[in-house]
Amino acid sequence: MLRLLLYYAPYKRLIGVAVICNLLMSIFMVVSIPVLQPFLQILFNPGELKRSVQTTGYQGLEQKINNFFAQLIEQHGREEALLIVCLFLVLTFFGKNLFRYLSLYFLAPVRNGIVRDLRQKLVEKTLNLPLSYFSEERKGDLMSRVSADVQEVEWSIVGATEAVAREPIVIVGSLLFMISVSPGLLFFVIGLMLFSGFIIAGVGRSLKRQSGEAQKQLGLIGSLLEETLGGLRIIKAFNAETWQSNRFGRENDNYSHTLTGLYRRRDLASPLSEFLGIGAVSVLLWFGAKQVFAGQISAATFITFLYAFYNIIEPAKHLSAASYSIRKGLGALDRVESVLHADILIRDGENAVSVNTFEDKIEFRNVVFQYQNADRPALNQVNFVLQKGKTVALVGASGAGKSTIADLMPRFYDVTEGEILIDGRDIRSLRLQDIRGMMGIVSQEAILFNDTVYNNIAFSSNGATMDTVEAAAKAANAHDFIKLLPDGYNTNIGDRGGKLSGGQRQRITIARALLKNPPILILDEATSALDSESEQLVQVALERLLQNRTALVIAHRLSTVQHADEIIVLEGGSMVERGTHVALMEKGGIYQRLVELQAL
């Protein structure tokens, strides 16, 4: 439970004010308790209220209250004294409810703030996690942690803040009154409360375990839904609607059954605590009545004691429900914290060097890389140099390691062995933001956002204007089709650019790279998914993009890399051939065979 305090720390002032309000509310509640005793005596047996001198302790306090109300009766009469008592009770309960509202008023920003902070931390951590983390996790499950799990934390943990901040003060105040009245009766009350708490805790322990399982299953459901929506075209093409529906239905049923058991245990809190409370009251009535019959306490005092005990029962029930909720929410919090506490393996070193310019070359020196949980390296002893202003092309079959090399340059992953150097310095010794700031990436999949054309081209480019965006679009052969859109550059292109064709999406990504104007380019099969007409338009844009820049180009269509300064042929993660297009064709090896296969 101590880790929960870390999330409340930024709001300690608001919580402090709420605690003060709860304390004042409890004082008004506790003050109303002893007033009931003389009220009952005035109502049923006014003759018992006599002014006298009494000793210290509760008996002294009781006699002082009796003297005060006896004086009221003497001065104003019985009915007027009752009216004064009733007005006093109204004032005390007004104060109690006023400060109860104020405590909730100050706790409201705490509840919302903690949930906001959790969501923000999750998104920031997700953006900083390496790509290797997401290869092991389901996207839908991560989305569930940001949405459903955080919401569960609000409902179950933060929602219980009110009870945790208020009820203990009420209970303590009532207990202080009760112990002053009859320590013997209080002994029975505490014993019964401990017994009830032991039973409730036994049920509550299983809630955290079941809640974690339920949130995990909800994450799986979110992942299946994300896959269903993303693969809807294929599902329909293969008539797999029933298969996918049954697959989703199995997980949905499992989640429903787990949630049913969870709700049954949670809903047991209130009736169980109420039953145990009634049992405690019955025992208390029996024991207290014996003390009244023996003349140890008055009937009015005993009734007042019962009222004080009632003021403990309700807060205790709320605390019991809060305990159940917190245990349930801890399961969701565990899943949230598993992301927040995940290791960020790709980060700046302690003495990372800032770099602003690219002067000479990029060198891969004895690079070996193996993905996590893979049985063999994806790259094995890769050595090459990419000189400034030159273009190096990587070719080979799928799985040869081309995209892995492209991912290692901007440090999406770190090499397993060897090193990658920029101007003679290992990239692991340079600031990560500086490395990526020098590189522009155009990937096979045109990654766009559900926003306007303008914002997609100007993405993360500070100081971009409409003129610079249009200039980049013209250089990327995108300006003509953008003008024909309903709102031109202000047209929303839909989820992942779904309102545009493949060639149009790719030209927007090229315009984005042109606007960034990086000294180093990484082109990862930028034309492989396009038709011939779109490929020609994109290829012209790429040639403009490559002018006076250092480029690493990955291509399946070998016709697009024939003019590269060096072509490296990869097979099984190793470099098997290298040279210019002419030299490799004359060699008559793997490269020539790949060219001839594509020419068929």
pLDDT at 566 over 50: yes
C-alpha to C-alpha distance for 561 and 396, rounded to whole angstroms: 12
Q: Which domains does the chain carry? A: 2-340 (1.20.1560.10), 361-599 (3.40.50.300)
pLDDT top residue among 572 and 44: 572
pLDDT at 74 over 90: no
- In this predicted structure, which of 342-351, 461-470, 523-532, 571-580 has the lowest mean pLDDT? 523-532
Q: Rg of the chain's alpha carbons, rounded to an integer?
A: 37
List 553's β-bridge partners, or say none.
393, 523
Q: What confidence category does residue 427 fall into, taking pLDDT thresholds of 50, 70 and 90?
A: very high
The region that residue 58 occupies, defined by phi over 0 for left and psi between -120 and 50 for alpha, beta otherwise, is: alpha
Q: What is the pLDDT of residue 269?
A: 65
pLDDT above 70 covers a percentage of the chain that reads 80
CA nearest to 518, candidates 582, 436, 454, 590: 436
C-alpha to C-alpha distance for 221 and 256, rounded to whole angstroms: 11
200-210 confidence digits (pLDDT tens): 666 555 665 66
- Four-CA torsion 398, 404, 405, 408, nearest 10 degrees: 170
pLDDT top residue among 238 and 475: 475
Q: What is the pLDDT of residue 152?
A: 76
Collapsed DSSP state (helix, strand, coil) of residue 558:
helix
Q: What is the pLDDT of residue 419?
A: 94
pLDDT top residue among 467 and 543: 467
Q: What is the pLDDT of residue 53?
A: 47
Q: What is the pLDDT of residue 483?
A: 92
Distance of CA 405 to the CA centre of its chain: 33
pLDDT at 394 over 90: yes
318-377 confidence digits (pLDDT tens): 776 677 677 777 777 888 888 888 888 888 888 889 988 899 999 999 999 998 878 889
Crossing angle of helices 502-516 and 466-475, in 10° steps, is 120
C-alpha to C-alpha distance for 562 and 576, rounded to whole angstroms: 18
- The amino acid that residue 290 corresponds to is K
- The amino acid that residue 24 corresponds to is L
477-530 confidence digits (pLDDT tens): 889 899 999 999 999 998 778 888 888 888 888 888 888 888 898 888 766 555
C-alpha to C-alpha distance for 25 and 101, rounded to whole angstroms: 9
Q: What is the DSSP letter of 429?
A: G
DSSP letters, 7-61, are HHGGGHHHHHHHHHHHHHHHHHHHHHHHHHHHHHHHHH-GGG-------SHHHHH
pLDDT at 188 over 50: yes
- In this predicted structure, which of 219-228, 341-350, 487-496, 563-572 has the lowest mean pLDDT? 219-228
Collapsed DSSP state (helix, strand, coil) of residue 173:
helix
Collapsed DSSP state (helix, strand, coil) of residue 414:
coil
Record the tokens describing residue 444, joined without a space: 């096979």
Task: Report the 10 Å Cβ neighbour count for 460.
Answer: 9
Contact 215, 331 (CB under 8 A): yes
260-309 confidence digits (pLDDT tens): 877 777 777 667 767 776 777 777 778 778 877 877 777 767 777 777 77
pLDDT above 90 covers a percentage of the chain that reads 15
Mean pLDDT across 381-408:
91
Q: What is the pLDDT of residue 425?
A: 93
Burial letters for 194-224: b for 16+ Cβ neighbours within 10 Å, e otherwise? eebbeebeebbeebbebbbbbbbbbbbbbbb
How high does pLDDT run on average in the chain?
Answer: 79
pLDDT at 192 over 60: yes
Q: What is the pLDDT of residue 388?
A: 92
- The amino acid that residue 177 corresponds to is F
Q: What is the pLDDT of residue 52?
A: 47
Task: Report CA-CA distances (Å) from 140 to 137, 328, 434, 485.
Answer: 9, 22, 31, 33
- The values of phi and psi at residue 444, to 5°, are -60, -45
pLDDT top residue among 373 and 593: 593
Mean pLDDT across 449-476:
86
Q: Computed from CA positions of residues 508, 510, 514, 517, in that sequence, does the dihedral angle turn out positive or negative? A: positive
282-292 confidence digits (pLDDT tens): 777 787 788 77
Task: Report the 10 Å Cβ neighbour count for 106.
Answer: 21
Q: What is the DSSP letter of 390?
A: -
pLDDT at 535 over 70: no
C-alpha to C-alpha distance for 372 and 538, rounded to whole angstroms: 35
15-32 confidence digits (pLDDT tens): 888 888 888 887 787 777
Burial letters for 361-390: b for 16+ Cβ neighbours within 10 Å, e otherwise? bbbbeebebbeeeeeebbbbebebebeeeb
pLDDT at 531 over 70: no
pLDDT at 58 over 60: no
